[in-house]
């Protein structure tokens, strides 16, 4: 998946949203190296983190 194929928001922006949840499950998929930025994509109750065009984590909110 390429970054230009999905609507991603760079995590270093000044905008911050909050979400309240009772439980969260995080799946580690791929490491993030050095100063590569992490981009966040929200899909319903899923939060996905991408770095260097690769999915690096996925969190499910319950």
**Domain boundary assignment for the chain:** 3-12+23-61
Output the CA torsion 27→32→36→40 (10° steps): 0
Q: Which of 32, 50, 33 is closest to 41 using CA atoms?
A: 50
**Residue 28 has which token pair?**
């580690």
Is residue 2 pLDDT above 50, yes or no? no
Residue with tokens 């996925």: 58
Closest CA to 59 of 32, 29, 37, 14: 29
For 7-34, write each residue's pLDDT tens digit.
Answer: 444 444 445 667 777 888 999 889 988 8
pLDDT score at 55: 93
pTM of the entire predicted model: 0.65
């Amino acid at each position: 998946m390429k970054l230009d194929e999905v609507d991603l928001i760079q995590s270093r922006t000044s905008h911050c949203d909050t979400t309240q949840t009772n439980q969260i499950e995080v799946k580690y998929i791929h490491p993030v190296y050095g100063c590569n930025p992490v981009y966040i994509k929200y899909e319903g109750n899923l939060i996905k983190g991408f770095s260097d065009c690769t999915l690096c984590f996925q969190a499910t909110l319950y």
